[in-house]
Amino acid sequence: MKKTTKQLITLMLILGVGCILEGCGKESNHSVTITLIHAWGGTEEDHVAMREIYEEFQEENPDINLQMISMPTREDMMRKVEDMIMVGKIPDIVSFSGIGENSIYDFMIENNMALDIYPYMQQDQELADSISEVNKQYWSTENGELYSVADVLILSGGYWYNEDILKASGIESVPENWDEFQIMCDQIGEWALEEESEVKALKPSGEGYLYCMDHMLAGSEKSRVEGHNIIFQDKSFSDSIDRMKRMYNSSISENAKYSYRDETKLFNEGKLAIYINGVWGAPMISKQINAKYALLPTDKGESMSCISSSLGYVLGNSGNEEKEKAAVKFLKYMLSKKVQTQILEKTEQIPANPDISLESYKENKSRLYQAATLVLDADEKIEVPNNIWSAEQKDYFTETIFDVLTGTLSMQEFEENLENKQK
């Protein structure tokens, strides 16, 4: 998230394609070859860390040749997977990390291309215990199958704030409801004007507004989130848009080309008081910023957070028992205490394995600990609403939300188009 797409492509060519070629050259030394398709996410440091973990799996399992196909973006990865399955080449492992429900995943399930993990869990209690309960609850089908397992949890429901700016502007405590949140933003704006400062209260990107919409809907109508359904022609949806219009007027965000990368940069430069993001944003924040985490308000005033699992690793149902067992072995490796600890230490993402405690990181990862503990200790914890949206809906929302906020796109057209893109 810190580099441009061009730079990520360069990194991919160095680390990804090179590995593919190397793996092809050594295939004869292994009893089985499996493919892993994934896309870059997080920081470049994260990319390197995950690469090292994958390579360690290779070293510890010399009988398995792990061929990695690394794509520069999630969109590129999705297209690659689609191209492969359309010609009958089922990938052995697809990392849908950070992606919600989508048509590719559904297609794999509907066409018996994804491997049900549940039978392997029945045979291996260690594997079963390493998979988070929220993952099992959200991704298990009505018939009890489980086709996706994530190696990290998603903790969200809040925002990062610059404690120094809030103190300077006279904010003594974080708000408990949306009216107080807006008052806080206005107060910061007035302070900045008086001080002739270029600091803004907040400046959400399209992704930031989608994030806020998720939690506004969850807080106003929890049942809709639990039912995995969004009713667009409803007061809760229009009320959420009205709130975001107030946020827009006090932030003066730019347009669809303004991304979360730009928002992150401004926060790290000390030009934003509030940075809309989840706990996963911790490693992206500069150590020079006195940043803390707060939960977004709710209508009721009680604290509410989101704990969930996005799509994770999906294993291919190739019909080749040797390949499938090797893929399951890789999954078990990624969920092992050793690797889960590595993921936490190297990427500051929250491990999915419930046996990994955060207490030992209270001192050396205090920022992450404060944010994660706040989410985990909330009065009410729900699934991440982000999983409800299809990839097409997300793209449309982030591309057009500024048109809605500025009045160039009507609410009716916006809602109808979103609903038409519903899965």
pLDDT of residue 232: 66
CB count, 10 Å around CB of 270?
17
Please give the Cα distance from 91 to 240 (Å, whole number). 40
Per CATH, 5-154+308-361 and 158-277+390-420 having the same topology is answered yes
- Return the pLDDT at 215: 80
**What per-residue confidence (pLDDT) applies to 42?**
60
The pTM of the full predicted model, rounded to 2 decimals, is 0.81
Per-residue pLDDT of the chain (423 residues; tens, 9 = 90+): 333 334 444 444 434 444 433 444 444 466 899 999 988 666 677 778 888 999 999 999 999 999 998 888 888 888 999 999 889 899 999 998 777 677 889 899 999 999 999 999 999 999 999 999 989 988 999 999 999 999 999 899 999 999 999 999 999 999 988 899 999 999 999 999 999 999 999 999 988 998 888 888 765 544 344 444 556 656 778 888 998 998 888 776 666 688 888 999 999 999 999 999 999 899 899 999 999 999 998 877 788 888 888 889 999 999 999 999 999 999 999 999 999 999 999 999 999 999 999 998 998 899 999 999 999 999 888 775 556 677 788 889 999 999 999 999 999 899 888 888 875
> Could you tell me which CATH number the domain at 158-277+390-420 has?
3.40.190.10
Residue 230's pLDDT is: 59
Per this entry, what is the length of the chain? 423
Query: Does residue 160 sit in helix, strand or coil?
Result: strand
Domain residue ranges in the chain: 5-154+308-361, 158-277+390-420
Q: Nearest 5°: CA angle at 228, between 99 and 39?
A: 5
| ∠ Cα 295 310 351 (to 5°) | 75
| Nearest one of 202, 347, 225, 354 to 275, comparing CA atoms | 202
What CA–CA distances, in Å, run from 411 to 30, 228, 416?
58, 22, 8
State the architecture of 5-154+308-361 in CATH terms: 3-Layer(aba) Sandwich (3.40)
Amino acid at 286: S
